[in-house]
Chain A
Amino acid sequence: GAGVSQSPRYKVAKRGQDVALRCDPISGHVSLFWYQQALGQGPEFLTYFQNEAQLDKSGLPSDRFFAERPEGSVSTLKIQRTQQEDSAVYLCASSPQQGPSYEQYFGPGTRLTVT
């Protein structure tokens, strides 16, 4: 079956531009996560949705970062007024249930480069 898909795969933005990153989770998956992965590092949590409700946004680094999942399926991560330190791979993951024991299925990521 189809896995998690993300678009675009690559995005180059000039400093100060706004960007929107899309995630299509596995159909029927309740939980959706966004992570940020800097070069040579492990993924770091940004935010978590259970259906359409954003239950945890403690990892968002600043108020320039905003995420939504209005209908409980597709999610968008928006970064306003991009800065160079925002350059990273943004990973989306989904999970079939809401509990912490379920594995997360990851998409291929969007590589954002801010120039």
Chain B
Amino acid sequence: AQKVTQAQTEISVVEKEDVTLDCVYETRDTTYYLFWYKQPPSGELVFLIRRNSFDEQNEISGRYSWNFQKSTSSFNFTITASQVVDSAVYFCALSEAGRGRRALTFGSGTRLQVQP
């Protein structure tokens, strides 16, 4: 069965620090997709990035970067020079291509607090 683990429950940093959010996943499928979502205090989940299992290239988007490593089943998310507006709960999620299942399996989330 699929599973996503976010071991860090809460992280607190001071503005301008770099921070990495960890995500470890389990799946038996060879084709799968990994996602990161942000949930600000308003509550609405905001899509950040998608990766497929065949593409291990790291990706950078502004202050955000993602490190996907199949060998360790990890898909970590780094925020460089954090800002107060980055404060939110971040979720890693997995979807599998097989068996017709389309649901996302979410981790329990990491709450990031960025102090000014």
Contacts and interface: CB of A to CB of B under 8 A. Distances in A.
A100 B43 contact: no
Contacts, number: 70
Give 7 nearest A-B pairs by CB, closest first: A42-B106, A45-B103, A106-B45, A100-B95, A103-B47, A108-B44, A101-B33
Given A42-B91, A101-B50, 16 more contacts: A40-B108, A40-B109, A41-B108, A41-B109, A42-B106, A43-B91, A43-B104, A44-B106, A45-B105, A55-B102, A56-B101, A59-B103, A100-B32, A100-B33, A101-B97, A105-B47
**Interface magnitude class on chain B:** 20 to 34
18 contacts: A33-B102, A35-B104, A40-B109, A42-B4, A42-B106, A50-B102, A55-B100, A95-B102, A98-B102, A100-B97, A101-B52, A101-B97, A103-B35, A104-B104, A105-B47, A106-B37, A107-B44, A108-B42
B22 to A, nearest CB: 14
Nearest to B106: A42
Contacts of A55: 100, 102
A91 interface: yes
Contacts of B52: 101
A35 to B, nearest CB: 8
A50 B103 CA distance: 12
Contacts of A59: 103
